[in-house]
Chain A
Amino acid sequence: MKNVMDYIEMKIPAKPEYVGVIRLTISGIASNMGYTYEQIEDIKIAVSEACTNAVQHAYPEGENGEVTVGFSIYEDKLETMVTDNGQSFNFKQTKEELGPYTESTTVDQLSEGGLGLYLIETLMDEVTVSNTSGVSVFMVKYLSEERENHDKATSDHETN
């Protein structure tokens, strides 16, 4: 087991204009760690989705809240935790209602929201969501190719 090498934590106001700031930060961290372009873009989407969920659902309109994002940097992986202290939601039920859509999906069944959590689960290697007080989304992306279970085979891997 490898120890955590570095930890970075950021707190942003629960407002949509700050999601892009988190994206810039995670992009820099992932780039430093040596992830490929494709992997960095996947991480950016997953972390943005978690922040978007927190910003949009955690606090009722007009209530100011905060979203905390923690990055644990390991030799072989990046762990990201996005957490708010707002309202929790029923994760299992929400998950069951999620995409992907299939060819038999009718136009009426298409939803304008709800794909965020599905994308997080698809783009990251491990995802855990807890909703004991507020919602925390914990996600892991591995650096080494053999630990990945998605279609990264085509992306060039940087030599160490």
Chain B
Amino acid sequence: MKVNIEQHQNEKDVFVHVSGEIDAYTAPKLREELLPLTEGNNKVITVNLKEVSYMDSTGLGVFVGMFKQLTKNEGELKLVELSDRLKRLFTITGLSHIMNISDNAEDVGR
């Protein structure tokens, strides 16, 4: 059970690809790697979750943390290629009303 994180970035856009399981064990690692990316103003971070096979509230907490930090710095967080399962998690918690989530990849690599 593990999580893998790959990222690349240009001037102000960051693209992150997360794969694996996000739970109580792996969420701290994810937070540790992703939260520093939110530093600086007007950052746009796109996180692709296509290959996340499992996620629970610990994962939601990581993305809420990023979202709050980016919003504070006038940046943006986009979560893309969510599976139906992941989308459901954001929907039932009400986070889909607040955060930018998408089930397709329109923003990736642009």
Q: Which chain A residues have a beta carbon within 8 Å of chain B's beta carbons? A: 16-17, 19-20, 23, 41, 44-45, 48-49, 51-52, 55-56, 99-103, 105, 107-108, 110-116, 118-119, 122
| B57 in contact with A113 (CB, 8 Å) | yes
* Cβ contact within 8 Å between A115 and B97: no
Let me know if B24 and A107 touch, CB within 8 A: no
State whether the Cβ of B81 lies closer than 8 Å to any Cβ in chain A.
Answer: no
Residue B10 at the A interface, CB < 8 A? no
**Those 3 A-B pairs whose CB atoms lie nearest each other, nearest first:** A100-B94, A101-B94, A16-B24
Complex Cα distance, B92 from A100, in Å, reads 7
Secondary structure dominating the interface of B: helix
Give chain B residues whose Cβ lies under 8 Å from the Cβ of A41. 85
Task: Indicate with 1 or 0, residue by residue over B78-97, a CB within 8 angstroms of chain A CB atoms.
Answer: 00000001000100111101
- Give CA–CA (A110, B67) in the complex, Å: 10
Task: Output the least CB separation between B83 and chain A (Å).
Answer: 10
Please state if B1 and A105 are interface contacts (CB–CB under 8 Å): no
Q: A127 CA to B28 CA in the complex, in Å? A: 28
Whether the pair A107, B57 counts as a contact (CB closer than 8 A) is no
A-B contact pairs, 22 of them (CB 8 A): A16-B23, A19-B25, A20-B21, A41-B85, A44-B54, A45-B56, A45-B89, A51-B24, A52-B24, A52-B57, A99-B93, A101-B93, A101-B98, A107-B71, A110-B98, A111-B64, A112-B68, A115-B57, A115-B60, A115-B61, A116-B57, A119-B92
